[in-house]
Amino acid sequence: MLHFWYVHSMLDHIRDKNALITMQKAGISKTQQRIAVLNILSKAATPLNISSIRQSLQSKTRINRVTIYRILSLFKMRGIIRDITSSGISYYELATRENPVHPHFNCLNCGKLSCLEPLTFSQAKHLFNTDENFSIEHIEINISGLCSYCRNAT
Amino acid sequence: MLHFWYVHSMLDHIRDKNALITMQKAGISKTQQRIAVLNILSKAATPLNISSIRQSLQSKTRINRVTIYRILSLFKMRGIIRDITSSGISYYELATRENPVHPHFNCLNCGKLSCLEPLTFSQAKHLFNTDENFSIEHIEINISGLCSYCRNAT
DNA sequence: ACCAAAAATGCAACATAGTTGCAATTATTT
DNA sequence: AAATAATTGCAACTATGTTGCATTTTTGGT
């Protein structure tokens, strides 16, 4: 039987490799800080906000607050990640083919952001009577309430 | 023919009266600052963010930054206003029967937030497969791109 | 209309998010 | 392996938002 730590170090290794490939494709320098940020986002099951990212990073990599902002901003520009702002807080998630744009659910109790089933852009676009000639570039749908855990806990 | 200033002072008078009635109904003290904030929001054609509200207020009423936050928070709790957070900035609009919850359009160029045609809560709710037992309390839909003005200006 | 009690405002101080310029460090290219 | 280019760290700054406490304004009873 494989050991826990072994499986994990193996996964970490794969992730590091993927991170390098991603940055290669994007044509940006492969720095330790960028790899670390990318790995944290690829490990995450839900979109993460800056403070979660900082916490996860500080234990492993020495990284400045400003650097995180700059890396996230660069990743966003290059289409590597997407940001979701729910209740005034920015969350980040990987933007891959396998992970298309989708609505999010923000628990008002625990604050966790979960991903909902995707709605295609055209489906969503169809909903809104935009006879006024707006050019739609982004549709953000955020739903809030209580997640199943918090709902049952109360 | 009626003079411009006359019509306006008349409208202001009606607004002041409406503001007083609103606060009476909500069972909260009728203060100058609250009347001023309420009037600004009732005059506005689009949802306003804090800095717009501050700017509009400072010319007329002496009011502290903190007071505006407290008033908006109270109004929100009492259901007098609604807040919309688009791209990390909070905007406020009157929450009346005639003005139901609706999606918003945020121009990425000029930053202005416009109101789109409403979608009923049940229409919107129906869209999302929430088989997981989330309890939905709020659905926020924000669309961004270029407004007609900015689109044509470029 | 006045006075006491209750409520709201102003102010100072603080916390967090996010940005910018510049010097020091790290990647990349040859 | 060295020179150049890019990135990071740091200090300082802006904006948003919050809290405690003293001062002022509203409210409600007389």
> Which CATH number fits the domain that encloses residue B71?
1.10.10.10
DSSP B64: -
Question: CB-based contact (8 Å) between A73 and chain B?
Answer: no
Residue A18 sits in the same domain as residue A89: yes
Asked, for residue B89, whether it belongs to a domain, the answer is yes
Asked, for residue A34, whether it belongs to a domain, the answer is yes
A contact residues 118-147, partner B, Cβ 8 Å cutoff: 119, 127-130, 132-147
Residue A75 sits in the same domain as residue A129: no
Q: How many structural domains does chain A have? A: 2
Residue B112 sits in the same domain as residue B131: yes
CATH number at residue A138: 3.30.1490
Asked, for residue A111, whether it belongs to a domain, the answer is yes
Asked, for residue B75, whether it belongs to a domain, the answer is yes
Asked, for residue B99, whether it belongs to a domain, the answer is no
In this prediction, residue B89 carries a pLDDT of 81
Structure confidence by residue, pLDDT tens digits, A30-55? 999 999 999 999 999 889 999 899 98
Residue type, B153: A
Strand, helix or coil for residue B6: helix
Rounded distance between C-alpha atoms, residue A79 and residue A102, angstroms: 16
Rounded distance between C-alpha atoms, residue A57 and residue A63, angstroms: 7
Residue B59 sits in the same domain as residue B111: no
Q: Is the CB of A64 under 7 A from strand C?
A: no
- From A64, A94, A124, the end of a domain falls on A94
In this prediction, residue A80 carries a pLDDT of 94
Residue B39 sits in the same domain as residue B90: yes
Structure confidence by residue, pLDDT tens digits, A21-36? 888 898 899 999 999 9
Asked, for residue B17, whether it belongs to a domain, the answer is no
In this prediction, residue A37 carries a pLDDT of 95
Residue B129 sits in the same domain as residue B90: no
- Residue B88's alpha-carbon distances to A37, A52, B141, B144, in angstroms, are 22, 17, 14, 13
Contact B137 A117 (CB under 8 A): no
Residue B90 sits in the same domain as residue B108: no
pLDDT at residue A114 above 90? no
Rounded distance between C-alpha atoms, residue B146 and residue A99, angstroms: 26
Residue in this structure with the two tokens 């702002």, named with its chain if needed:
A85
B76 vs A contacts (CB less than 8 Å): none
Residue B121 sits in the same domain as residue B76: no
The residues facing B114 across adjacent strands are B105
Nearest to A21 by CA among A11, A34, A9, A40: A34
Residue A87 sits in the same domain as residue A122: no
Residue A108 sits in the same domain as residue A66: no
- From A62, A94, A126, the end of a domain falls on A94
Shortest CA to C1' contact from B65: nucleotide: C10
Residue B35 contacts residue B19 (beta carbons within 8 Å): yes
Give the phi and the psi of residue B109 in degrees, each rounded to 5. -90, -60
Give the phi and the psi of residue A22 in degrees, each rounded to 5. -55, -45
Alpha helices in A44-142 (DSSP H): 50-60, 65-77, 121-127
Q: Which two tokens stand for residue B43?
A: 């005059």
Alpha helices in A61-99 (DSSP H): 65-77
Residue in this structure with the two tokens 């918003």, named with its chain if needed:
B104
Asked, for residue A5, whether it belongs to a domain, the answer is no
Please compute, for residue A25, the number of CA atoms within 13 A of its CA located in the half-sphere on the CB side. 10
* Residues of chain B scoring pLDDT < 70: 1-9, 107-111, 119-139, 142-145, 147-151, 153-154
> Mean of the per-residue pLDDT values for chain A?
79
Domain that holds residue B36: 28-94
Structure confidence by residue, pLDDT tens digits, A64-113? 999 999 999 999 999 999 988 877 788 999 998 888 877 777 766 666 77
User: From the CA of B11, how many Å to the nearest CA of chain A?
Assistant: 29
In this prediction, residue A154 carries a pLDDT of 52
Residue with smallest Cα–C1' gap to D19: B66
Average pLDDT, integer, range A14-24? 82
Residue A88 sits in the same domain as residue A108: no
Residue A26 sits in the same domain as residue A74: yes
State which residue of chain B sits closest to A87, comparing Cα positions.
B85
Asked, for residue A84, whether it belongs to a domain, the answer is yes
Average pLDDT, integer, range A121-143? 62
Per DSSP (E only), the strands in chain A are 48-49, 81-86, 89-94, 104-107, 113-115, 135-146
In this prediction, residue B119 carries a pLDDT of 64
Q: Is the CB of B58 under 7 A from strand C?
A: no
- From A94, A118, A141, the end of a domain falls on A94
Structure confidence by residue, pLDDT tens digits, B110-128? 667 777 777 665 566 555 5
Question: CB-based contact (8 Å) between B80 and chain A?
Answer: no
